[in-house]
């Protein structure tokens, strides 16, 4: 790529997303990912990254996500920029956002380099459109959203190795390593398989080597995933469509697909996350239309080839459609539609977008030559302004959920707004939001747990106990409710009941160090020193760097009878 186009891309990207590094904060679940996580903070060995769920450290337990590369990037950020406190602002957060911006820039440059290495003209307009598309704020401006960029980098790296390789060994290495890195970034990396195979096929003798490399990569990934999560295939506990018949899942997925297409074409007025309610009214005809469009794009190499169309454009359409298939809900996914789901489809669509833009420019040139010359720059300028505005959604947890609330009030949204209000030091607003969440959904246990924390803060443990008993009645599988109940029984001086509550929390979520520490203290309070030692050991197994657990265990082993707090 020549210097001038590269600088133009860099300038567009920095203008669009520079504000994310400057004013970006901790949105949605960023703080939960970065704090109290031994994989990120360094308490657990590097090898543990390959053996745990992405969310294993949280009270809710794993989410079926095996993303070691994503966790490794956060751990490196922690080492480079410093840790994030459990409450309050931190200057280090800007470093994490800067890493996101650099990852996105790397994806754009890798894609441009791949196209140039294949001897193709640089699709500058389409690359610029991808670089500044406002929907990608969900990846670029949200720290936890970097998984799509890491997956794209791994796949593009492998693709460039396949193109450059001198022999079949290099092709096998590029295809295998590229796919493995893409999958370790995010499960959606599987969509790089057809790209890697297509590039190897162009080399005539490279296809068998690519198949061998891809097969080896898939085997390694599946073995690692099974060792860490106990399952071979991706799954999402608590998926919104879990338990629904396949046809019902496909109906809703069709509505999500058309909404995603609308968002790609007109990125204006959309929530940062689409709930099930957004697609409840999807008709079967609408779903059939959505899947028909997807099938048409997937088959583009066949029907465009017969008409003498560009192979690159046909392949681009097919790859972009393939990148949307993980959203089809054949296997129930954890979310129905989020803007970051467009990251890989928009990336793969770059050649098709460029061809479409050139065709439209030719039509405009015959009618309004002046507009034809200015239209691309005008469109990129508008998208840059929209991207700049969109980064504001990710400034904080509250700004994120306020943006979500603007498109519909739900119990989950109100509960999250209450959490954000408390985080910002406004307990009155937090209580109002949690009570509203209960009004909207009385069977939702989380706001009851949150109200109990306010009672504990106010020194009313008996009131907290009553609220937590309500929480475990409506949500018996909520480990956080049982954990807080254990803590409350401890404050009430009822160690036996505290032990039982903590044990139930650990049955539901055994990978949370705080639960093991709570159980250890409850057992100590009840005089069960042997059981306390076992619990402290459990905390240390999860996080060898847990200083409190190490000190308490050492004290107990020395025969001390004073509880370490």
3-state secondary structure of 270: coil
3-state secondary structure of 332: coil
- DSSP alpha helix (H) spans, 323-368: 343-348, 350-367
d(CA 406, CA 523): 47
* Structure tokens that stand for 536 in this block: 């402290």
Q: Which residues contact 308 (CB under 8 A, 6 or more apart)?
A: none
* Structure tokens that stand for 51 in this block: 């053996």
* Structure tokens that stand for 406 in this block: 């603007």
CB 35 within 8 A of CB 513: no
Total residue length of the chain: 565
Residue 151 in domain: yes
Residue 546, domain CATH: 1.25.40.10
* Structure tokens that stand for 253 in this block: 């997925």
414 and 495 co-located in one domain: yes
Give the count of beta carbons closer than 10 Å to the beta carbon of residue 65: 20
Look at the block and give the residue holding tokens 């994989």: 39
pLDDT of residue 375: 84
Residue 315 in domain: yes
Domain end position, chosen among 371, 390, 409: 390
d(CA 149, CA 106): 9
Residue 237 in domain: no
Look at the block and give the residue holding tokens 């639960």: 515
107 and 152 co-located in one domain: yes
- DSSP structure class, residue 275: -
337 and 411 co-located in one domain: no
374 and 509 co-located in one domain: no
d(CA 316, CA 36): 42
Look at the block and give the residue holding tokens 């009941």: 497
378 and 418 co-located in one domain: no
134 and 182 co-located in one domain: yes
Residue 347 in domain: yes
377 and 436 co-located in one domain: no
3-state secondary structure of 65: coil
Residue 272 in domain: yes
Domain end position, chosen among 356, 390, 424: 390
d(CA 142, CA 399): 12
Domain containing 552: what range? Answer: 399-557
Closest CA to 351 of 425, 423, 297, 413: 297
CB 483 within 8 A of CB 515: yes
Residue 549 in domain: yes
212 and 289 co-located in one domain: yes
pLDDT of residue 562: 46
> What phi and psi, each to the nearest 5 degrees, are found at residue 320?
-60, -40
- DSSP structure class, residue 274: B
Residue 112 in domain: yes
d(CA 23, CA 390): 12
pLDDT of residue 67: 93
148 CA to centre of own chain: 8
Average pLDDT along the chain, 565 residues, taken 10 residues at a time: 72 92 89 90 89 78 82 95 86 94 96 84 91 96 95 96 92 96 94 94 88 96 91 78 91 95 95 90 95 94 72 92 90 89 96 91 80 83 95 93 92 94 92 96 95 94 96 94 96 95 94 92 94 92 86 78 43
d(CA 234, CA 227): 13
Q: Which residues contact 129 (CB under 8 A, 6 or more apart)?
A: 353, 379, 380, 383
Domain end position, chosen among 364, 390, 416: 390
326 and 448 co-located in one domain: no
Per-residue exposure over 212-246, b if at least 16 CB sit within 10 Å of its own CB, e if not:
bbbebbbeebeebbeebbeeeebbbeebbbeebee
Tally of domains within the chain: 2
CB 505 within 8 A of CB 536: no
82 and 209 co-located in one domain: yes
329 and 288 co-located in one domain: yes
406 and 383 co-located in one domain: no
3-state secondary structure of 560: coil
- DSSP structure class, residue 277: G
Q: Which residues contact 493 (CB under 8 A, 6 or more apart)?
A: none
Residue 565 in domain: no
pLDDT of residue 243: 84
Closest CA to 337 of 180, 138, 532, 519: 138
């Amino acid at each position: 790529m020549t210097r001038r186009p590269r600088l133009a891309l860099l300038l567009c990207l920095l203008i669009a997303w520079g504000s994310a590094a400057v004013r970006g904060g901790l949105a949605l679940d960023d703080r939960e990912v970065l704090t109290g996580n031994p994989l990120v903070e360094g308490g657990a060995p590097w090898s543990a990254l390959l053996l745990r769920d992405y969310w294993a450290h949280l009270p809710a337990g794993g989410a079926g996500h095996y993303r070691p590369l994503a966790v490794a990037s956060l751990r490196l950020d922690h080492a480079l920029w410093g840790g994030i406190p459990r409450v309050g602002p931190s200057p280090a957060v800007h470093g994490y956002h800067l890493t996101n911006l650099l990852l996105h820039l790397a994806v754009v440059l890798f894609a441009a380099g791949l196209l140039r290495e294949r001897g193709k003209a640089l699709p500058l307009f389409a690359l610029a459109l991808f670089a500044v598309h406002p929907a990608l704020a969900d990846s670029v401006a949200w720290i936890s959203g970097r998984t799509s960029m890491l997956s794209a980098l791994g796949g593009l790296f492998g693709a460039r190795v396949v193109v450059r390789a001198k022999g079949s060994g290099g092709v096998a290495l590029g295809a295998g390593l590229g796919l493995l890195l893409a999958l370790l970034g995010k499960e959606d990396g599987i969509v790089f398989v057809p790209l890697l195979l297509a590039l190897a096929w162009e080399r005539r003798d490279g296809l068998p080597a690519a198949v061998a490399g891809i097969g080896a990569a898939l085997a390694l990934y599946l073995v690692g995933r099974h060792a860490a999560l106990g399952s071979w295939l991706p799954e999402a506990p608590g998926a919104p469509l879990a338990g629904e018949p396949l046809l019902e899942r496909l109906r809703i997925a069709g509505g999500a697909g058309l909404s995603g297409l609308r968002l790609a074409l007109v990125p204006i007025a959309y929530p940062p996350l689409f709930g099930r309610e957004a697609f409840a009214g999807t008709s079967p005809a609408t779903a059939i239309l959505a899947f028909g469009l997807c099938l048409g794009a997937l088959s583009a190499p066949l029907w465009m080839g017969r008409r003498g169309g560009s192979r690159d454009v046909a392949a681009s359409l097919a790859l972009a459609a393939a990148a949307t298939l993980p959203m089809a809900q054949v296997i129930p996914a954890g979310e129905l539609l989020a803007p970051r789901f467009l990251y890989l489809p928009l990336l793969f669509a770059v050649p098709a977008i460029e061809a479409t833009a050139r065709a439209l420019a030719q039509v405009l040139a015959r009618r309004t030559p002046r507009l034809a010359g200015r239209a691309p720059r005008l469109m990129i300028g508008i998208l840059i302004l929209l991207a700049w505005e969109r980064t504001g959604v990710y400034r904080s947890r509250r700004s994120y959920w306020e943006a979500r609330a603007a498109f519909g009030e739900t119990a989950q949204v109100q509960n999250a707004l209450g959490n954000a209000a408390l985080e910002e030091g406004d307990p009155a607003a937090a209580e109002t939001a949690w009570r509203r969440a209960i009004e909207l959904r009385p069977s939702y246990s989380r706001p009851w747990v949150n109200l109990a924390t306010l009672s504990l803060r106010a020194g009313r443990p008996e009131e907290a106990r009553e609220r937590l008993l309500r929480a475990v009645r409506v949500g018996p599988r909520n480990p956080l409710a049982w954990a807080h109940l254990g803590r409350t029984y401890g404050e009430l001086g009822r160690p036996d009941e505290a032990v039982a509550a903590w044990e139930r929390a650990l049955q539901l979520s055994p990978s949370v160090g705080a639960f093991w520490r709570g159980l250890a203290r409850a057992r100590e309070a009840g005089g069960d020193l042997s059981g306390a030692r076992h619990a402290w050991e459990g905390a240390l197994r999860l996080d060898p760097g847990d200083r409190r657990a190490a000190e308490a265990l050492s004290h107990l082993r020395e025969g001390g009878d004073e509880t370490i707090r």
